[in-house]
Amino acid sequence: MNILSIEHLTKVYGSGDTAVRALDDVSFTVDAGEFIAIIGSSGSGKSTLLHLIGGVDRPTSGTVKLQGQDIFARTDEQLAIFRRREVGLVYQFYNLIPVLDVVENMTLPVLMDGRTVNEQRLQMLLRALKLTGREHYLPNQLSGGQQQRVAIGRALMNSPAVLLADEPTGNLDSKNSAEIMKLLRDSNRQLKQTLIVITHDEDIALMADRVIAIEDGRLVRDERRG
């Protein structure tokens, strides 16, 4: 089933002579529950693509449709609601709020939505993310791997339709990397969570159902595997 469709997505930074075409007429569709790896050299436009899908940035032209609805037809305020309900974002540098503890960081999107936290889901995630006993640690009291697990917990807390990860293991050692990827893979398999991961890591690319390669803002390869 087609959950996400990206149509003629173009993003230009700057204008005139200094204009940079970060993304150039990219189109593809994503099925529900798919695990996609986006690869490409640095500066190829893959992060831009991820940010556009996540509704963090707006495209110069083209559309992103989630479950048939154009996300950029929404107002900024609606887009904010979209971000906290429909997508989960994981960054290379964790991007946790330094003054909030583990539980507060993880539940932030739920709290922002004005809903009560599903305690069962929280405990389940804490266990799965091996953060039990560290619920009230501040980010600077955690290791890099633990911080990234909190970031993943935050992304998964709302059971989003799509989970987007920008080099989630780029900052971690191989043991932590493997753990994080296993977590993401499990969530993708068990919860039928659609997962799009940007990576440089060949091993991670090999785990994916499909690999999309971006070069100079253009989609140059789209491979389904298995």
Partner 1 sequence: MGDDNAADYGSYLFAKTWPVNPEGERLVTGPEITAGRAPEAPGEIALPHYLEGVELAPCGLSVQGADGASAIELGSTVTAQLGERTLRYLEDDSGLTAAGTSLRGTYFQDDTVEETFDADLGQVSGTVVGFYRSYGFSSTRALQGNSVYAYPSGDEVEDALADASDATCVYSILTTNDPQDALTIADELSADIDPQAGGVATHTSLLRWQGVTGSSEVWNTLYMIAGVLAVVIAVAGVSLVYNSFAISVAERTRQFGLLASLGASKRQLRRTVLTEALLLSAVGIPIGLVLGLIGCLAVFQLTGSGLAAMFDVDAYGIQVSVTVSPAVLGISAGVALATVLVSAWIPALRASRVSAVDAIRQTRDIHLTRRARRALARAGKSTADGGTVRLRGLSARLFGIPGFIAHRNLTRATSKGRVTVAALAVSVALLIISGVIGSVMDYASGTAIDAADGTDLQVRIDATTAEGSTGTIVREDGKVDNEALADALARLYDAADGLEGTVRAGYHASYVADTIVPASMVSDGSDHFFGTLLADGSWSGPIYVDFIDTASWESYVDGLGLSCEEFCDPARPQAIALNEYTLNEGGTYGYYSPLSGTGTVETVSFAPLEGMYVGGVVSDTNGQPSVWYNAPDGSERFVPLDEGITARKEIIVGALADTAPTGISTRSGTLHILLPVSAMAANETLGFADAQMNFDAGGSAETAANAQDALELVATDFPELDCTYTNYADTKMQNRMMSDTVQTFIYCFTVICGLIAVANVFNTLTNSLILRRREFAVLKSIGMGESAFRRMIAYECASYALRGFAIGLALAAIAAAFLTQAMTYSFTTFTLEPPIAEAAAAAGIVLAVIVVSAAYALRRSHAANVVEALRDDAI
Residues that bind partner 1 (CB under 8 A): 47-48, 51, 54, 56-57, 76-77, 80-85, 89, 91-93, 95-101, 103-104, 107-109, 111-114, 116-117, 119, 122, 133, 135-136, 138, 140, 154
CB of 184 to partner 1, least distance (A): 17
CB of 202 to partner 1, least distance (A): 23
CB of 93 to partner 1, least distance (A): 5
CB of 69 to partner 1, least distance (A): 17
* Pick 167 or 208: Cβ nearer partner 1: 167
* 3 state SS for 28-52: EEEECCCEEEEECCCCCCHHHHHHH
Residue with tokens 């900052």: 171
The edge-to-edge listing of strands for the beta sheet with 87-90 is 87-90, 162-166, 194-198, 35-39, 210-215, 218-224
In angstroms, rounded to a whole number, what is the distance separating the alpha carbons of residues 208 and 188?
A: 10
Count of Cβ atoms closer than 10 Å to residue 119 Cβ = 9
Residue 55, phi-psi category: left (phi > 0), alpha (psi -120 to 50), beta (remainder): left
CB of 165 to partner 1, least distance (A): 13
CB of 224 to partner 1, least distance (A): 29
* Pick 106 or 208: Cβ nearer partner 1: 106
* Pick 16 or 98: Cβ nearer partner 1: 98
Give the residue from 64, 38, 40, 41 showing the smallest Cα distance to 52.
64
* Pick 136 or 192: Cβ nearer partner 1: 136
* Pick 29 or 69: Cβ nearer partner 1: 69
Backbone angles phi, psi at 35, to 5 degrees: -115, 110
In angstroms, rounded to a whole number, what is the distance separating the alpha carbons of residues 192 and 198?
A: 19
* Pick 143 or 174: Cβ nearer partner 1: 143
